[in-house]
Structure 1
Amino acid sequence: MSQFNEVTQDLIQQIESIVGEDYCYVGERINSDFARDEMPIYGAHMPDVVCEPANTEEVSVVMRACYEANVPVTVRGAGTGLVSGSVAVEGGVMLCTMRMDKILEYDMNNLFVRVQPGVRLCDLAADALEHDLMYPPDPGEKTASVGGNVSTNAGGMRAVKYGTTRDYVLAMTVVLADGEILQIGRPVTKTSTGYSLLHLMIGSEGTLGVITELTLRLIPNPKENASFLLPFVDIHAAMASVPKIKLSGLDPQSIEFMERDIVDSSAAHTDNYIIPTEVQGQEAGAYILVTFDGNDIDEIFQRAETLAELADEAGAFDTLVLEGSEKRAVWELRGAFLTAIEAEEKLIDEMDVVVPVDSITEFLEFVHSEGEKVGLRIRSFGHAGDGNLHIYCCSQTLDEEEFLIRNKKVMDASYAKCAELNGQVSGEHGIGAAKATYLAQSVGDTQMRLMAGIKAAFDPKGILNPGKVV
């Protein structure tokens, strides 16, 4: 029996009076997209009500009404997640923040920006550039909301140099489960002031509070950047080069890896064949993609000369320079990897584990072997510089029931191997509902008990995003 109450007509009318009838949806007015995220294998769960508040005050009143009614609330941004984190698995009210999409203020003296959570990453990045500033976090899904990025501590391509979203959040406004409005953090870059509630909220996936405003750190925009493609005979040789690149003092902005099969799939899907499959008369089986940035293009190419020497010693066929339209085309191809997999495969599931960089090859080999045992195709790419791997279990022919049975065998073995290698269940996508079991297995009873205690302190009725993380 559910610990929550059902949504009543009285609660619906309360929510309508708060956000307006045009921004409160029930029944057939709820778009079916709200029942799932971008990984449909975890199932669809339709909320009873979807509302779109316009500001912190409206969120506060909605939360107070739901708290008093003991009705669950699931916070949702753009819905681009991959772990069922923004899906209403217990029904109830879905609170969508995408109407709160304003960039509120730039502080050019202190280098920060205030935004609402529904601002999309691509829009913030582009707007910051208009001010000659960079918002460094660069997750692959550019249409994701910034609030969602903060809720999952999204990482991305530039994490090897600039860190993850967590490193750029200075302050936030949060509405707690009972409707209380809380200001957390300050627009300063250092603090040693008690427990960091700010960092508890970052990565909490909507289970501790509703983020309604963010103050984000910016940096001066590097004036120049260039990318370099290193083709190798196979993934072993490619990954062996990564520690050497990291230890070289070259300060790369990103170091990505890609296997040949996903490059071929993405090229066919996008009709973009910019990445050569044969280099210096040799077939490439894997690639490392490196980007340098800075304010002096000559200095960048001095670093590139050192990179080329390291790559040659590591067995790369060449160091291909990517500038202008070639660079854009290669990164567009990289950005289409997931959509290419989705287009080719009928059923997919994903893990985004993070392991020590020198364990990447061992982990990839293990997962591929587990896939072969049960008859599932394994596709992989990811962030070689920080060990964050995106690995997909795929099938074009199985029915869903059989796929799930085989997939579970691969996932169980792979997450156990990840723990053995001192890795983590998620590098940037979060836990959601999909990976909660693996989180518990990975961190153990004591840590789960402590996390559950934190959850209870913030949300004593457990109404915020139930069924997720803890």
Structure 2
Amino acid sequence: MQESKYGKVTPELIEEFKKIVPGKVHVNGDINEDYFHDEMPIYGKGAPDVVVEATTTEDIASIVKLCYENNIPVIPRGAGTGLTGAAVAIYGGVMIDMSKMNKILGYDKENFVVKVQAGVLLNDLAEDAQKQGLMYPPDPGEKFATLGGNVSTNAGGMRAVKYGCTRDYVRAMTVVLPTGEIVKMGATVSKTSTGYSLLNLMIGSEGTLGIITELTLKVIPAPKETISLIIPYENLEDCIATVPKFFMAHLQPQALEFMEKEIVLASERYLGKSVFPQKLDGIDIGAYLLVTFDGDNMEELEAITEQASEVVFEQGAIDVLVADTPAKKKDAWAARSSFLEAIEAETKLLDECDVVVPVNQIAKYLTFVKSLEDDYDFKIKSFGHAGDGNLHIYACANDMDEAVFKKQVADFMKIIYKKAAECGGLISGEHGIGYGKMDYLADFAGEANMRIMKGIKEVFDPKMILNPGKVCYKL
């Protein structure tokens, strides 16, 4: 925990918290160490003084109001699956665990929206919506993140190429401000020109402007059929170069992912199941596209598959393997969804970035990134959302000193973030900035943009108590 000028969490204040939420306040040795970090602990750890398990918006408002009056930091936390240190208590204070606010409050099928508490897991909403004949399109890789966390980072995921990111599906929300005030933002409508869009400002703010407690989310009729294609290539360059051709051929994949052979093998070792071919027609496979199309019937999808096959064969694909049964589709996407877990299982020191570049710059950018590997003592692994240019690049090491690793990675990240900007991209597509990427944001955004972001933070949070020291505002 860093030193700060914040107030102390006194025994008297803890007793006030206990009156508000009896039996749901944890201190000292009762706090599970999982609360000290997120899924990327290399960005630091911090122990909160208190963890409060929230169950209602009103309870959160009462807790936050007390913290505001006593100048105590407040850190909202969902499932803790973030990758930038955004939900870590680097200044101590009160951590509000949102995971118990996990009720799906109801569907409005005439307006195609669902109302949920912020602690509902993405997986739970996806399954429940399917039972209603509906689909919630955002599909980030971590299915057991909370929806409040997804909104707070504007998570994208695999279906963003066709359906867009989380931002595109948020209609309204209930928010507790740092003062303890409860406000409503947005409405169950599809368009607005009603003042500044505070709703969109809150989306992606990583818990620094307000605590999202309830959400009204857009849903759509679920596609009747889907089909997935595994498309192997001899090398990554040919694989990535195919991506723009899908769109030029007027194909609209639901998901379009790329992956290198090495990371596929790691995933298959992790799952204990082989799904992707390693060699075809005597050719060693170096990379793959995993593509899903959706539609009203299989006849439609079979025609799309034929057209897609013509496109990829012209670009050097070795084969097109059709996953047209539930088991085959499940196995293919389970391998893709396990990439991060597979890397973590085989790696002692890990850092990552999720830059996003224009689709026609992916091959050029990844070639540049891979060319840097000989300059460092760690390995570089990559995969990502080829359809929208969001790339996940990992620095992995097992035998390096941590201080040396961090120093080398900092240099590496600075170079590849700069290159992403030169390619017309941004430094994060869906993971956010949090605590770990603040310096890179400052370098990328420039003085004027940083000044505006800091000014927004000051208006929402004049005492700087809400998730302090994250995104744009260092203390």
- The normalised TM-score by structure 1 is 0.99
- The one of 351, 369, 372 equivalent to 1:370 is 372
State the alpha-carbon separation in 1 of the partners of residues 213 and 130 from structure 2.
24
In structure 2, the partner of 1:330 is 332
| CA deviation vs aligned residue, 1:219-276 (integer Å, no higher than 9, x gap) | 0000100001111111100001000012211111011000010011111121111111
| CA deviation vs aligned residue, 1:307-357 (integer Å, no higher than 9, x gap) | 000011000011111122111101111111111111111100000000111
In structure 1, the partner of 2:411 is 409
Structure 1 stretches of 4+ with a deviation exceeding 3 A read none
State the alpha-carbon separation in 2 of the partners of residues 79 and 323 from structure 1.
35
State the alpha-carbon separation in 1 of the partners of residues 298 and 291 from structure 2.
15
In structure 2, the partner of 1:351 is 353
1:460 matched to 2:474 = no
In structure 1, the partner of 2:93 is 92
1:200 matched to 2:165 = no
| CA deviation vs aligned residue, 1:90-132 (integer Å, no higher than 9, x gap) | 1111011111110001111111000000000000000001100
Contact 1:371 1:410 in 2 (8 A): no
In structure 1, the partner of 2:44 is 43
DSSP-derived class of the 1:95 partner: strand
State the alpha-carbon separation in 2 of the partners of residues 123 and 400 from structure 1.
37
Q: How does 1:104-123 map to 2 (within 5 A)?
A: 104-123=105-124
Q: How does 1:249-268 map to 2 (within 5 A)?
A: 249-268=250-269
DSSP-derived class of the 1:418 partner: helix
DSSP-derived class of the 1:227 partner: strand
Amino acid at match of 1:58: D
In structure 2, the partner of 1:143 is 144
Amino acid at match of 1:69: N
Contact 2:377 2:400 in 1 (8 A): no
DSSP-derived class of the 2:185 partner: strand
State the alpha-carbon separation in 2 of the partners of residues 236 and 357 from structure 1.
13
DSSP-derived class of the 2:446 partner: helix
The sequence identity of aligned pairs, in percent, is 53
| CA deviation vs aligned residue, 1:51-93 (integer Å, no higher than 9, x gap) | 0121010011001000000001011000000000111111111
In structure 1, the partner of 2:302 is 301
Contact 1:245 1:310 in 2 (8 A): yes
Q: Which runs of 5+ in 1 are unaligned?
A: none
DSSP-derived class of the 2:173 partner: strand
State the alpha-carbon separation in 2 of the partners of residues 231 and 173 from structure 1.
46
How many correspondences in the alignment? 469
State the alpha-carbon separation in 2 of the partners of residues 6 and 248 from structure 1.
61
1:131 matched to 2:102 = no
In structure 1, the partner of 2:155 is 154
In structure 1, the partner of 2:229 is 228
State the alpha-carbon separation in 1 of the partners of residues 239 and 371 from structure 2.
19
State the alpha-carbon separation in 1 of the partners of residues 17 and 401 from structure 2.
41
Amino acid at match of 1:392: Y
Contact 2:25 2:52 in 1 (8 A): yes
Contact 1:255 1:384 in 2 (8 A): yes
In structure 1, the partner of 2:433 is 431
C-alpha deviation, 1:370, in angstroms: 2.2
| CA deviation vs aligned residue, 1:120-156 (integer Å, no higher than 9, x gap) | 0000000001100000000000000000000000000
DSSP-derived class of the 1:106 partner: strand
DSSP-derived class of the 2:145 partner: coil
| CA deviation vs aligned residue, 1:282-324 (integer Å, no higher than 9, x gap) | 1110001110001111111111111000011000011111122
Contact 1:280 1:318 in 2 (8 A): no
State the alpha-carbon separation in 1 of the partners of residues 412 and 50 from structure 2.
36
Q: Which runs of 5+ in 2 are unaligned?
A: none
Amino acid at match of 2:336: R
Q: How does 1:3-18 map to 2 (within 5 A)?
A: 3-18=5-20
Contact 2:173 2:213 in 1 (8 A): yes
Amino acid at match of 1:190: K
DSSP-derived class of the 2:213 partner: strand
State the alpha-carbon separation in 1 of the partners of residues 131 and 458 from structure 2.
43
State the alpha-carbon separation in 1 of the partners of residues 373 and 347 from structure 2.
15
Question: Bigger CA drift: 28-37 or 371-380?
Answer: 371-380
In structure 1, the partner of 2:452 is 450
DSSP-derived class of the 1:143 partner: coil
Q: How does 1:156-175 map to 2 (within 5 A)?
A: 156-175=157-176
In structure 2, the partner of 1:61 is 62
DSSP-derived class of the 2:242 partner: helix
Amino acid at match of 2:8: E
In structure 2, the partner of 1:19 is 21
DSSP-derived class of the 1:348 partner: strand
DSSP-derived class of the 1:236 partner: helix
DSSP-derived class of the 2:230 partner: strand
State the alpha-carbon separation in 1 of the partners of residues 421 and 10 from structure 2.
45
Contact 1:105 1:115 in 2 (8 A): yes
Amino acid at match of 1:285: G
State the alpha-carbon separation in 2 of the partners of residues 40 and 362 from structure 1.
31
State the alpha-carbon separation in 1 of the partners of residues 282 and 54 from structure 2.
59
Aligned-residue CA RMSD in angstroms? Answer: 0.9
DSSP-derived class of the 1:183 partner: strand
C-alpha deviation, 1:47, in angstroms: 0.5
State the alpha-carbon separation in 2 of the partners of residues 272 and 334 from structure 1.
12
Amino acid at match of 1:428: E
- The normalised TM-score by structure 2 is 0.98
1:214 matched to 2:215 = yes
State the alpha-carbon separation in 1 of the partners of residues 431 and 374 from structure 2.
26
Amino acid at match of 2:260: E
Contact 1:104 1:115 in 2 (8 A): yes
Amino acid at match of 2:27: V
C-alpha deviation, 1:369, in angstroms: 2.3
Contact 1:371 1:393 in 2 (8 A): no
C-alpha deviation, 1:3, in angstroms: 3.2
